[in-house]
Amino acid sequence: MLPAVATSIAGQNSPGSSLTRPNTAGSLPSGNKVADTRLTTKTVESPYCGSARAASSECSHASIEADYPGRRTAAAGGTLAGPPNPVAILLPPFEAVPSPRMKIGPHVLPNALLVAPMAGVTDRPFRQLCRRLGAGYALSEMVTSRRDLQQSRKTSRRTDHRGEPGPVAVQIVGVDPSEMADAARHNIDRGAEIIDINMGCPAKKVCSAWAGSALMRNEPLALAIVEAVVAACAPHGVPVTLKMRTGWSERERNALQLARAAESAGVAALTIHGRTREQGYKGAAEYDTVAAVKAAVSIPVVANGDIDSPHKARAVLRRTGADALMIGRAAQGRPWIFREIAHYLATGDEAPAPATAEVAQWLHEHLLDHYALYGEDSGVRSARKHIGCAVRALPGGEAFRAVMNTLTDADAQLRALLGFFDELASRHPRLPRQDAANDAQALQCA
Ligand SMILES: Cc1cc2nc3c(=O)[nH]c(=O)nc-3n(C[C@H](O)[C@H](O)[C@H](O)COP(=O)(O)O)c2cc1C
């Protein structure tokens, strides 16, 4: 019985403390002013980058390198190793970033840090965890538009939004305009308040049917889908957003063109992952295209790709002038990254690492929600990827993961996890720092 497990584990592992849900939601303080004194070209509105410059040289390579030294960036086009970049020395002291609210249609988000949709990862329990730990918004995993699959167990789970804080946002994927319009209506009936169209997924299963990022190669079809979905959502007052890549390939980089057309067709916000479909997840995300899109449209633009630390978040905001940031892989195993970023953007200080016991508590609660959604058998198996991501970079994490992957019931999994964290907490009251997670290993931390 799962609740009994929860009680016994709570009592056993956290004497004197109850596993109530922590009040940890993150949001940025408002009212801060940016008084950046450097050169400007075009000033754009942005929640975090109030005086950010779209595609300006000032908010470009130099600042991203300075904000994120030691990293290879596409914008920089090289490896930034060795002595600190001299530009960093010229930067003005950190200034808090302002927080005008990010809006999607009528929905004002509590902040502009978004959880990326990740099929098989960002299910409702994980989205809720991220929201509690500082994300202002979370998109569902992609949901097929195919009518014959709408009642499947997988799709039904993905469209179960019970207890999810609003606005509930569902991403749909497909190739047929009328089917996509139906899918939008179907999901609105099931509680969706925002519909997102997937034009970013590079997976073969999706692309062989010309869905996901493959649609970027067929602009007329892509636009027909956008128009059909917008028309289906409009009577319900539901805004439509679009998530895409920079293009199909290096030579077919048409995000800007598609963004303009989508805005004209009534799309309320755009997310750009700074890679082409051809790249998959290889190489570094580039932000020039995001900056160019931001400069060209009036609707909110969300920057996505390789944002894996508060410093990188600030650098990407400065570089792109984007209205918001979307974070995917770096939140796996580290969902508190949202509040860390919010804290850094607001203060310039790095938040201390969370208490190890606190992390154990979040994970415990997450797993209970996870088992409740999937059932014990399937839940124990699918929880392994979340646990794996959470422990893999911690001392003893790999060895623990190997053992944990052999456990087949929820009680044993929870006990093992909490035992691991109890032991870790005795040596490290605060979670030892983990490295950025955006690498091939992160994709396989299951
Ligand atoms: C496991 C996994 C599943 C994903 N599923 C989706 C999806 O369902 N819909 C989508 O638009 N993008 C999906 N993506 C792409 C992410 O939303 C995001 O654009 C990408 O990971 C880059 O952001 P990041 O560097 O912050 O992870 C997925 C990515 C991963 C790693």
Q: Atom 22, ligand 1: which residue's CA is nearest?
A: 305
What percentage of the chain has pLDDT greater than the value 70? Answer: 73
The whole-angstrom separation of Cα 404 and Cα 399 is 9
Confidence check: pLDDT of 21 > 80: no
Mean pLDDT of all residues belonging to the chain: 79
247: left (phi over 0), alpha (psi -120 to 50) or beta: left
Q: Atom 14, ligand 1: which residue's CA is nearest?
A: 118
Give residue 114's pLDDT.
Answer: 97
What's the average model confidence in pLDDT over 170-179?
94
Give residue 93's pLDDT.
Answer: 55
Residue 193 pLDDT level (bands cut at 50, 70, 90): very high
Q: How far is the CA of 430 from the centre of ligand 1 (A)?
A: 29
The whole-angstrom separation of Cα 366 and Cα 191 is 22
The answer to whether 243 touches 205, Cβ cutoff 8 Å, is: no
Residue 196 pLDDT level (bands cut at 50, 70, 90): very high
201 is known as an active-site residue: yes
The answer to whether 387 touches 410, Cβ cutoff 8 Å, is: no
| Any ligand 1 atom below 6 A from CB of 193 | no
The answer to whether 159 touches 139, Cβ cutoff 8 Å, is: no
Core vs surface per residue 88-97: b (16+ CB within 10 A) or e: eeeeeeeebb
Confidence check: pLDDT of 78 > 50: no
Tell me which of 49, 59, 130, 201 is the catalytic residue.
201
Confidence check: pLDDT of 207 > 50: yes
The whole-angstrom separation of Cα 247 and Cα 217 is 8
Tell which one of 273, 279, 289, 302 to mutate to probe ligand 1, the residue whose CB is within 8 A of the most ligand atoms.
273
The whole-angstrom separation of Cα 170 and Cα 423 is 39
The whole-angstrom separation of Cα 299 and Cα 259 is 10
What's the average model confidence in pLDDT over 75-100?
42
Give residue 124's pLDDT.
Answer: 96
Least confident of 16-25, 87-96, 320-329: 16-25
Confidence check: pLDDT of 368 > 50: yes
Exposed, middle or buried by CB within 10 Å (0-12, 13-18, 19+), for 399? Answer: exposed
Confidence check: pLDDT of 122 > 60: yes
What percentage of the chain has pLDDT greater than the value 90? Answer: 64
